[in-house]
Amino acid sequence: TVRPKNEVEHKQLCAFGEYVAEILPKYIQQVQVTCFNELELLIHPDGIIPVLTFLRDHTNAQFKSLADLTAVDVPSRQYRFEIVYNLLSLRFNSRIRVKTYTDELTPVDSAVPVHKAANWYEREVWDMFGVFFANHPDLRRILTDYGFEGHPFRKDFPLSGYVEV
């Protein structure tokens, strides 16, 4: 069986995506709505804090809850890491995804001033991928062992690691 297509929700998400893209043309590079009715905003990395604050504070877009903060490693690209923020609006019961890009050496603005929940998520992204977050209150390893070298979730890190255990 196939999930039935919800055209109404799709149209609403497209309209909202165009609304946000009209208000923030300085940072938003692309807006897309997947076939499963998920809205994604593709951002320039300078615009993380403006876009996240806008989505949190604006009356038409009260995305007060940061559901997830992850990274995706695509080694063939120039900017290999794609940072993904998943936000939830409790007032309007809708979700949105915000994506940015960076490479291994460029730091990215921390989302902690906007959403306190981003603290441990950013620590995890730093530990697992090596993406440095500027202005983070406490950026240190969170999941790997104390003397662990390397960033395990990168695609060039071997499955059973470099050290025999």
Partner 1 sequence: MFMFSLQTTGLVGLAVAENPHERLRILYTKILGVLQNIPKDAAYRKYTEQIVNERFDLVKKETDVQKLQDKLNSGQIEEVILQAENELSLARKMLQWKPWEPLVEEPPSNQWKWPI
Choose which of 27, 81, 129, 133 interacts with partner 1 (CB under 8 A).
27
Task: Determine which residue in the list 15, 74, 143, 163 makes contact with partner 1, applying CB under 8 A.
Answer: 74
In this structure, are strands 39-43 and 94-102 parallel, antiparallel, or unpaired? parallel
Residue 26 makes contact with partner 1 by CB under 8 A: yes
Binding window for partner 1 (CB under 8 A); candidates: 4-12, 47-55, 132-140, 152-160: 47-55
Dist CA 49 CA 163 (whole Å): 38
Alpha-carbon distance values, 162 to 142, 152, 157 (Å): 19, 10, 8
- Does 15 interact with partner 1 (rule: CB under 8 A)? no
Rounded CA-CA distance 91/93 in Å is: 6
Candidates 15, 38, 79, 120; binder of partner 1 (CB under 8 A) is 79
Within positions 98 to 157, which residues make up the interface with partner 1, using CB under 8 A?
99, 101
Q: Facing residues of 28 across strands?
A: 43
Residue 65 binding partner 1, by CB under 8 A: no
The answer to whether residues 150 and 157 touch, using CB atoms and an 8 Å cutoff, is yes
Token reading at 109: 């603005």
Count CB-CB contacts under 10 A for residue 151.
19
Among 19, 132, 148, 157, binds partner 1 (CB under 8 A): 19
Q: Which is nearer to partner 1, 18 or 138 (CB)?
A: 18
Q: Specify the amino acid at residue 9.
A: E
Residues forming contacts to partner 1 in the complex (CB under 8 A) are 19, 22-30, 42, 44, 46-47, 50, 53-54, 56-60, 62, 74, 76-79, 91, 99, 101
